[in-house]
Structure 1
Amino acid sequence: MTFSVQVKVMPLKELLDPQGKAVMGGLGNLGLQAIQDVRIGKNITLQVEAASADEAKSIAEEAAKKLLANPVMEQYEININ
Structure 2
Amino acid sequence: MFKASIYVNYKPSVLDPKAEAIKTALKRMDYDNVESVLFGKYFELVLAAKDEQAASAQVDHICDALLANVNMETYRFELTEISEVKA
TM-score (norm 1): 0.94
Runs (4 or more) in structure 1 with deviation over 6 Å come to none
Q: Give, in angstroms, the shift of residue 63 of structure 1.
A: 0.3
Unpaired segments of 5 or more residues in structure 1? Answer: none
1:22, 1:12 → 2: CA distance? 17
Aligned to 1:7: 6
The letter for the 2-side match of 1:37 is S
The letter for the 2-side match of 1:61 is D
Aligned to 1:70: 69
Please report the RMSD computed on the Cα atoms of aligned residues, expressed in angstroms.
0.7
1:20, 1:79 → 2: CA distance? 23
Percent of pairs identical after alignment? 25
Instruction: Describe the superposition over 1:16-43 as per-residue Cα deviations: whole angstroms up to 9, x where unpaired.
Output: 0100000001111111111001120111
TM-score (norm 2): 0.88
